[in-house]
Amino acid sequence: MVEVTVTPQSSLADRPVQIRVRGLSPSQLVTLRAWLKDEQGECFQSRAFFRADGAGEVDPGLHAALGGSYSGLWPMGLLWFLQPDTLFRRLVKRDVAGSPFRVRLEVWDGLSLGTDPREQPLASCEAERWYVGPGVQRVPIREGRVRGALFLPP
């Protein structure tokens, strides 16, 4: 049974996570896809192609991507190379304290470029990427023409 995991499952957006896929056949070619919807409902996604090692595992921190949104050894590449489905959109988090970005990770058999709604991924999981840590207080700043926010630690 194929399984994809993100450790830790919930983390701050600037912290590294480990993505691992287990249960594949040795040397199996797979596509890892990461995607999320921003607060306006716009979809951002990235994908990378990998060949499983002899134990049937893929770890983007140890195995180089063969192509896709990036190639080479990028442990956080699936999260760093998210691109919008609509041109000229930017991934911006407006409600930094209230909710995380929920990133969906999927494993597809072979080299998958599209998402056919009739097909199902081999495995999937979800990771939360927070922009403010627990207990951090956000204080709006308005002084003259200066606008901003002060984030105070707990």
Model confidence pLDDT, tens digit, residues 99-133: 999 999 999 999 988 766 778 999 999 999 999 99
Range of the domain at 7: 3-152
Beta strands in 8-122 (DSSP E): 10-12, 18-22, 29-37, 43-51, 67-68, 83-84, 101-109
Question: Given this model, what pLDDT does residue 62 score?
Answer: 97
- What average pLDDT is seen over the chain? 94
Question: Given this model, what pLDDT does residue 75 score?
Answer: 96
C-alpha–C-alpha distance, residues 4 and 24, integer Å: 10
Tens of pLDDT, residue by residue over 9-45, are 999 999 999 999 999 999 999 999 999 999 999 999 9
Of all residues in the chain, the percent with pLDDT exceeding 70 is 98
67 Rama sector, left if φ>0, alpha if ψ -120 to 50, beta otherwise: left
pTM, rounded to two decimals: 0.88
Structure tokens at 36: 């999320």
Number of domains in the chain: 1
Question: Given this model, what pLDDT does residue 101 score?
Answer: 96
Of all residues in the chain, the percent with pLDDT exceeding 90 is 90
Structure tokens at 7: 């450790």
pLDDT at 97 over 90: no
Q: What is the CATH number of the domain that holds 58?
A: 2.60.40.2240
